[in-house]
Chains A and B, each alone.
Chain A
Amino acid sequence: MSVLEVRNATKRFPGVVALDDASIRVDRNEVVGLIGENGAGKSTLLKVLTGIYRLDEGEVRVNDGVIELTSPRDAFDHGVAMVFQEQSVIGTLSVAENIFLGREGEFIKGGLIDRGRMNEAARVELAKVHLDIDPAIRTEELSFAQRQMVEIAKALSLDSRIEGDIVILLDEPTSVLEKREVDLLFEIIRDLKDRAAIVFISHRLDEVLAISDRIYVLRNGAVVHETPATDATVTELHGHMVGRSLHHEYYREQRQSGAGERCVLEVKGLGRTGAFEDVSFALREGEVLGIAGVVGSGREALARCLAGLLPPERGEILIDGQPARLDSPARAVGHGVGFVPSERKAEGIVTGMSVCENVTLASLADFVRNGFIRRGDERAATQGWIERLSIRTPSGRTPIASLSGGNQQKVVLAKWRVAGSRIVILDHPTRGIDVGAKEDVYELVRDMTGEGLCVLLLADTLEEVIGLSSRIIVMRDGRVSATFDSPPGGKPNQVDLVRAMV
């Protein structure tokens, strides 16, 4: 009997199909592994299961009844409990208060909370996860692993309080745990199988293989493979995760320029506690350096560090051979760094302003005479870039908010071109933009390197990083785990990259 089932789920966002007719089933007393690359649809699926997203097509069945989940609380009340990767315990409340937060009703006597009874009840739930702590202490005093156990205990508290079985969704539960803690978690998961069905989501394939009974592989929003864990191997799962390759033409490989002589950016032993450690590389003019890695590999932090948004704590940055301190975005921009952030709407564009105002934002000083902005010059420069980058906009005066995502992204690129940036950091430049616009962006990357700029690329997919880069460094757990040359015609294999990533 299935405890949780998703049938033919489809979820679309503008320009993207996040879930494409995906079906999964979780049976009683079963651990189901869910794997896939970044963007394969795992997180969308989880958000559907916790009532944050509603499906466009398809249905969710819990304990064999079709259910419309409206919020995480609603999902919880139906027995679907999520243990979030970014934890959702409230540090300033006690362990017991967290376990019963929002459900204190049963402990109220005469309008007041009976703390004794609440702590007693919490102790019962904590025992289920073998956590021997005082339920009255604040959760912020606990270690990360202990807080995770509290969340699991909270899910288990449903056990005696609802009819039907419960499902616990574990989203990357091992990503910040020590080996010893992982073993403990696995012990508890095996123990819990009697009481609950479990969905285990992780990018660590060996762990998924070790703990799961059955495994689903997601790619581009669809379930592409389903296998009992006993029959699967890591290599095979890698193969299913990455899928077929696109044609070389797509990434304009023939226009990939060789590295120039001049080294523009050099990084030596860069480190920041909790983010990345001992990162070194060199970037030459005309080069695209891809940085591959899973979420939490430290590559996002590295990119933000070079953009001046997250100062490094150790190591050295050289620009044109000269030591450079990039401790603010203003400094970084002054050194010729341009940052195209992944959160385009929050950090890339100023939503309330026009295309023109966005294009000149980083170089406004160049358009000033006697203290006043020369709008004519500004408009002329913008018009030039609108044509060069074929930005589809009625005019420079159009509010940028009315442009499509792809064209907004081109405006961000234009901003750095106008500012004369020589090192352009692209953080997921094609995220959330449609296929045609993606190709335009690839075209623009080739244009930039052709003119001697250098690009640091954090790509959306492995295909993209391999297709676009002339060299790739792979990061794992904050360190560089491998480096690949990626010349046209001699591109590295996706499976090799994945192996270095996880």
Chain B
Amino acid sequence: MAVSFSRRIRSLAPVLVLLALCLVIASTNSNFLSVSNLIRLLSAAAIPLVLVMGATFVILMGSIDLSVEGVVALAAVAASMLVANDFTSLDLGFVALPAAMLLGGLLGLANGLLHVRLAIPSFMTTLGIGFACVGVATAILGGFTVRISDRTFRELTLGRLFDVPYSVWVAGLCVLVAWIIQERTRIGRWVYAIGTDEHTARQVGVPVERTRILVFALAGVFYGLGGAMSASQLGQGHALLSQGRLFTTITAVVVGGTALSGGVGSVLNSVVGVLVVIVLANGMVLMGIEPFVQQGVQGLLIILAVSLALDRSRLAVVK
């Protein structure tokens, strides 16, 4: 079973990369392993973790979701306008959280419906929806920023339990939920079936269309939550607050070892992927590298990870 062996090595690669990265950074910078830096790392990883939970399912189906930034921005703006703020007179407190998730879910549903019902490639529909969301967020605020004055809402991410911010616990909960969905529900299993072999899945009676739509909606719910968390963390909502999130999300998913061709990977892989991206960013900061270099490094990471992980035998024509 030589194939299986090399696949196992490959599936371990992201973890090895993470460990190697930690070792290198720790050896050059003693601050890296300090408790405060580790908590800073986890805190930085929280929102990306929530976002990749959604994106992983979409990518496992062999699709892609480019609407992350738009949905997160719009959800964040919506959440910040529902809690006590300086833009509207509302003060609905924690209602903002389910509301943002619902909004995200609806936008995801729109992604899924347009993609499946009109049979348009997902990168196209999600690109359209994503841009429209950013546009709407910009237009609602007219370029302004909403400032949140609701202290308890801000506690949602900033408050601490055992010295670890709530946002990290929330992210942990999301990982758990996503993992249960992946392992123990029909949708979760069908995602793998569709991503591995949509034709066969259809033949044995898996409701492929319905599953696709639901998965995009599910991803939207996670983005919605991520949006609310961003608003809570920053204490404000504006249209550009999610800039760079799409990049981090996709990098994390592919670096974690989930294949863009679908069927291979898991939400746990994506957890590792997020940590790789965050540790790398943190390391670069510690080493005094300009923050803008990160996007470029992430771009290189995407290329590297995808080209190492892609099962080329399955692709006859690459578009």
Q: Tell me the A residues contacting B by CB distance below 8 Å.
A: 71-73, 76-77, 88-93, 97, 101-104, 108, 111-113, 115, 140-141
Contact = CB atoms under 8 A, between A and B. Distances in A.
Interface stretch (B64-72, B185-193, B238-246): B185-193
6 contacts: A90-B193, A101-B205, A101-B206, A102-B201, A111-B185, A113-B189
Given A112-B180, A113-B186, A115-B184, A90 B200 contact: yes
B6 interface: no
Contacts of A91: 196, 263
A121 to B, nearest CB: 15
Chain B contact-residue range equals 20 to 34
B203 interface: yes
Contacts of A97: 189
B192 A90 contact: yes
Contacts of B2: none
Contact of A88 (B1, B185, B204): B204
Contacts of A111: 185
A51 to B, nearest CB: 9
Contacts of B204: 72-73, 76, 88, 101-102
Nearest to A104: B186
Contacts of B206: 101-102
Nearest to A77: B205
A93 B192 contact: yes
Given A90-B196, A93-B189, A111-B185, A72 B180 contact: no
B229 interface: no
Given A72-B204, A108-B186, A93 B196 contact: yes
Given A102-B205, A112-B180, A92 B192 contact: yes
B4 interface: yes
A236 to B, nearest CB: 37
Contacts of B1: 141
Contacts of A113: 184-186, 189
Contacts of A73: 203-205
B96 interface: no
B193 A93 contact: yes
Contact of B203 (A72, A103, A108, A140): A72
Contacts of B86: none
Contacts of B205: 71, 73, 76-77, 101-103
Contacts of A104: 186, 189
Interface in B5-36: none
Contacts of A88: 197, 200, 203-204
Contact of A112 (B4, B185, B203, B264): B185
Contacts, number: 61
B207 to A, nearest CB: 8
A449 B211 CA distance: 56
Nearest to A110: B184
Contact of B201 (A77, A90, A108, A115): A90
A89 B200 CA distance: 8
Contacts of B180: 112
A486 to B, nearest CB: 35
Nearest to B7: A140
A141 B196 contact: no
Interface in B83-122: none
Contact of A92 (B184, B185, B264): B264
B184 A112 contact: yes
Residue from the set B195, B196, B204 with the largest chain A CB neighbour count within 10 Å:
B204
A448 B229 CA distance: 73
Given A93-B192, A101-B206, A141 B184 contact: no
A101 B193 contact: yes
Contacts of A76: 204-205
Contacts of B263: 90-92
Nearest to B4: A141
A71 B196 contact: no
Contacts of B184: 112-113, 115
Contacts of A72: 203-204
B307 to A, nearest CB: 20
Residue from the set A88, A91, A102 with the largest chain B CB neighbour count within 10 Å:
A102
Nearest to B206: A102
Contacts of B203: 71-73, 88
A101 B206 CA distance: 7
Contacts of B186: 104, 108, 113
Give 5 nearest A-B pairs by CB, closest first: A73-B205, A102-B205, A72-B203, A112-B184, A102-B204
Nearest to A91: B196
A341 to B, nearest CB: 13
A114 to B, nearest CB: 9
